[in-house]
Structures are given as structure tokens and as C-alpha cells.
Amino acid sequence: MVMDGQTGLLRAVLGANWISAVKTAALSMVAARRLADLGAETIAFVGAGVQAHSHSVAFSELFPLKRIRVFRRGKANVEKLFGYARNMGLVA
């Protein structure tokens, strides 16, 4: 929930999953700008859940990504992530 700082009234109700995914990816981008090779063309994830999705979108804004790699146990989420990545023009 977002409250008005002056009145204390409710201003918005945000879905926690969405805001958590975006916030975490944004913080990772801040670190990547300082620590990563900005010419990197491949991104890799351990796991293929919500965070991998949000990070693939965020990092494709920062890097000239061409490929995505995923290390995981199950296949269902990987296929979803790969489909999403292909729609972004990445080789999965």
C-alpha cells in the first residue's frame, strides 16, 4: 500500500509480486552497471521463475543481449522463460 505522506490517506495498492520483481531487477542493474562488462551478449540464470523473467527484461535494456542460459531442475518454467526470451529476440 502507498499512503499519502501529508494526509495518511491510501493512494495506491500495488501487487507485491510485480513490485518485488521490478525492484530486485532494478537493484541488480545498478550493480551490473558498475561491475559487469557492458558489452555482454549472454545472460545466465539459476532458476527460471519470476526473477529470471524480470531480470531478462531489465538487463536487455542495459546490455546488447543475444543469448540466454538457464540452469534449473524442472522444465516447465524454463520453457516459459525461453518463449519469453525468444519474443525479445534472444537465442534460448
When divided into structural domains, the chain yields a total of: 1
Q: How many CB atoms lie within 10 A of CB 18?
A: 11
The residue segments making up the domain with residue 81 are 2-87
Question: Does residue 52 lie within any of the structural domains?
Answer: yes
Q: How far is C-alpha 57 from the geometric centre of its chain's CA atoms?
A: 5
Which residue type, as a one-letter code, is found at position 18?
W
Question: Does residue 6 lie within any of the structural domains?
Answer: yes
Query: CA distances (Å), 67 to each of 15, 20, 90, 92, in order?
Result: 30, 25, 5, 6
pLDDT tens readout for residues 16-47: 888 888 999 999 999 999 999 999 999 999 99
Average pLDDT over every residue of 12-19: 83
**Alpha-carbon distance 82 to 1, whole Å?**
33
pLDDT tens readout for residues 42-54: 999 999 999 999 9
pLDDT value, residue 14:
79
Question: Does residue 92 lie within any of the structural domains?
Answer: no
